[in-house]
Amino acid sequence: MATAEEVAKAAERRDVRDRWLLSAPALLVIFLAATGPLLIVLIYSFLTPGPYGDVKWQFSPDAWLSVFMERDIFDDTLSLAAAHVTIFWRSIKLAVVTTIATLTLGFPTAYFMATRSEKTRDLWLFLITIPFWTNLLIRTFAVLQIIRNEGIINTILIKLGIVSTPVQILYTDTAILIGMAYVYLPLMVLPIYASMEKLDFRLVEAGYDLYATRFKVLRKIIFPLVKPGVIAGSILVFIPALGAYVTPSVLGGGKNMMLSNLIELQFGQGRNWPLGSALSITVMIIVMVALLAYVRNAGKSGVRHG
């Protein structure tokens, strides 16, 4: 007869096996249609472009070189690829500024929502959830109609006599920034709100009781306690903003490219799949670095605030 320990061990083994079987379909689909293909991208980034797109199965480091460098066609010397650097810089800058802008607007908004009475809180949550669930393309399109030369902003400015000719906002970096801040704002508000809702306001009372000013209470009590929400929100905004495709396509025109448009170009007219692959991997590396930095930061603050 089996001993108690053997029976327990066997049951545990069976449980772990069942749990693997249960998660197998999800893992398989994700591996086949999300994670696995990333490896192929990595391989493609080291191959030679085919004449009509796709690749020739021949090793070449050129794609990686041309991520940041370009080869002079006359003397074969390498120099910094100004166009690529500009696009990288613009993408990172816009993603960071978008994150900061949504945080600046989203934090007070989440605070406002969390300090409403229990009943109305659900209504505010509902109002912030609707845009979150509304198609991103439609919301970008809505912004386009507001900021274009014939849009509501310029019409009002002209009617009021503030300007005589429309202010060109559309097809500028500002347009992309406005659009991204607009579409990603709910992604910032929701996680901060989730943390804020759990905040025990008696701690705030205790802060005031111990002579803290409003600003001190905000900085020393509220902010540290909702930091996980702020971090989650920042990640949720930064990742899609860096790889944003729809917003720059619609609001940036063809001119103000971001990384995703540059990548798309390599698979379209550019016919340089290896370069497109190398650029994609680069985007992923930037995202991973940002994620790691955040996670480490979050881990540290987690220790401090228990």
Partner 1 sequence: MPDKPDRNAIEVVNVSKIFGSGDGQVAALDTVSVSIRENEFFTLLGPSGCGKTTLLRLIAGFDFPTAGEILLYGQDIALLPPFKRPVNTVFQSYALFPHMTVADNIGFGLEMLGKPKAEIKARVAEMLKLVKMEALAGRRTSQISGGQQQRVALARALAPQPKVLLLDEPLSALDYKLRKEMQIELKRLQHETGITFIFVTHDQEEALTMSDRIAVMSSGKILQVGSPRDIYDRPAERFVADFIGESNFLKADVVGVSGGRATVKLSSGTEIPASLPDGFSPSGKVTIVVRPEHAQLGGASPSASLSGTVENIVYLGTDTHFHLRLAGGEPFIVRRQNSRGAGDGIVQGGQIGIMIGSDAAQVLKD
Partner 2 sequence: MASNFSIKHQPGFTAIAATCFVVLYLPIIVLVAYAFNAANSTSEWGGFSMRWFQSAGQNVQVIDATLRSFQIGAVAAVLSTIFATMAALATTRTAPYPGLTFKYAAINQPLMVPEIVTGVALLIFFSRIKIFTGYSGLGYLIAAHTAFCIPFAYLPIRARLENMDLTLERAAADLYATPWKTFRRITLPLLWPGILAGLMLAFVISLDDVVITEFVKSGGQDTLPTYMLGQIRRGITPEINAISTAFLLLSVAIVTLFFFVSRKRD
| Residues of the shown chain interacting with partner 1 in the complex, contacts defined by CB under 8 A | 2-5, 7-8, 11
Q: Which listed option, partner 1, partner 2, none, makes contact with residue 86 (CB within 5 to 8 Å by class)?
A: none
Determine, following the binding rule CB under 8 A, whether residue 90 of this chain makes contact with partner 2: no
11 interface partner picked from partner 1, partner 2, none, CB below 5 to 8 A per type: partner 1
Q: Are 192 and 226 in contact (CB under 8 A)?
A: yes
* Residue type, position 261, single letter: N
Q: How far is the CB of 291 from partner 2 (least distance, A)?
A: 7
Quick note: the x/- pattern for partner 2 over 13-52, rule CB under 8 A, is --xx-xxxxxx-xxx-xxxxxxxxxx-xx--x--------
How many whole angstroms separate alpha carbon 60 and alpha carbon 165? 52
Cα 286 to Cα 243: distance, rounded to the nearest angstrom? 10
Question: Residue 73 binds which one of partner 1, partner 2, none, with CB within 5 to 8 A depending on kind?
Answer: none
Stretch that binds partner 2, among 57-65, 73-81, 157-165, 255-263 (CB under 8 A): 255-263
Dig out the tokens for 137 from the structure. 């393309």
Taking the complex as a whole, the smallest distance from the CB of residue 160 to partner 2 amounts, in Å, to 17
Shortest gap between Cβ of 149 and partner 2 (angstroms)?
9
**What token pair was written down for 301?**
């603050």
Quote the CA–CA distance of 179 and 174 in Å, as a whole number: 8
Q: Which is nearer to partner 2, 176 or 283 (CB)?
A: 283
Element spanning 56, H or E: strand 55-59
CA-wise closest residue to 273 among 33, 44, 117: 44
CB of 174 to partner 2, least distance (A): 15
Does 96 contact partner 2 by CB under 8 A?
Answer: no
Q: For partner 1, which is the closer residue by CB, 6 or 54?
A: 6
CA distances in angstroms from 103 to 27, 184, 229, 275, listed in the order given? 34, 10, 11, 34
Question: For residues 78 and 210, which CB has a smaller minimum distance to partner 2 in the complex?
Answer: 210
Q: Are 170 and 149 a contacting pair, CB within 8 Å?
A: yes
